[in-house]
Amino acid sequence: MSGVADRAHLVRLSIRRGRIETRGSFTDPAEMFGTAVMIGIFLAVLFFQRGDEVEGTGVDAAAASLPGVIGMMVVFTGLLGMAAALSMDREDGTLLRAKALPGGMGVYLGGKIVFMLALIGATVLLLLVPGLFLYEGTAAGLARGWPMLLWVLLLGIAATVPIGAALGSLFDNPRLVNGIGMLPVMGLSAISGVFYPVTALPEWVQAIAQVFPVYWMALGMRAALLPDGMLAVEIGESWRTLETAGVLGAWALLGMVLAPVLLRRMARRVSGAKVEAARQKAMQRV
């Protein structure tokens, strides 16, 4: 019973830590401004697509693109957001302090997961809620497909956050996470059918896109929110629900295998001397 009680205590501490971190992030004007600007840009781009139809589907172009944007933002936030947060905490000493406490690393990682769930959930809502009023057919799609949207969203988080943690353990400098990680994610988004049908691309490009989570998150969100008329421009004219679950599940499994190994290695290498050296480098950059 004591083991169960200890685990329950760690879960409560993780949730508390996650809530504190979420509150701090959501009340930081700089962080909120950056997020609001990015989401505003995407909503504005989609707004100007209203009235056009995806050829051969009868579906409004803005409504057709919104699910892909949501899927892309889930991957973007789960991967780069988690990686940047871990790298930053290593640089400023947060990780070292967590390591020094009994059960501190478990509570730290649990809190980070709670925070990422809140951040991704807020991002999805900030995109989806305006879409209900701005883009024709989105409200009807949500009313019909919300169960699928929910499980695709949860599986997408499981597929990206552990990989983000693994990536974050490899970077000493948090600025490198966005500098190096941004281009591949945006490049994959460009070939994954986010803003236009993936079938418009060469087959070899389609094959590359189907290896990574961005395509499958976008496809899963389209399957949840769009009518079957969109199948005319999908690969195989199918939503491929089982394949979506399989590929995202495979990425989740890969992340759950890699992340603990790399995080333990990172924790062993964290020391006061390294934190101080990183702090001095950061001050020189400022």
Q: Comparing 56-70, 133-147, 176-190, which segment has the lowest mean pLDDT?
A: 176-190
With 80 as the cut, is the pLDDT of residue 286 above it?
no
The domain of 79 spans 2-285
Measured between alpha carbons, how far is 152 from 216 in angstroms, rounded to an integer? 9
pLDDT digits (tens, 9 = 90+) for 232-268: 999 999 999 999 999 999 999 999 999 888 887 877 7
What pLDDT, on a 0 to 100 scale, did the predictor assign at position 1? Answer: 44
pLDDT digits (tens, 9 = 90+) for 84-99: 888 888 777 777 777 7
Question: Between 51 and 159, whose confidence is greater?
Answer: 159
Mean pLDDT of all residues in 106-129: 90
Measured between alpha carbons, how far is 12 from 137 in angstroms, rounded to an integer? 41
* Structural domains counted in the chain: 1
With 50 as the cut, is the pLDDT of residue 12 above it?
yes
pTM summary value = 0.88
Measured between alpha carbons, how far is 96 from 254 in angstroms, rounded to an integer? 26
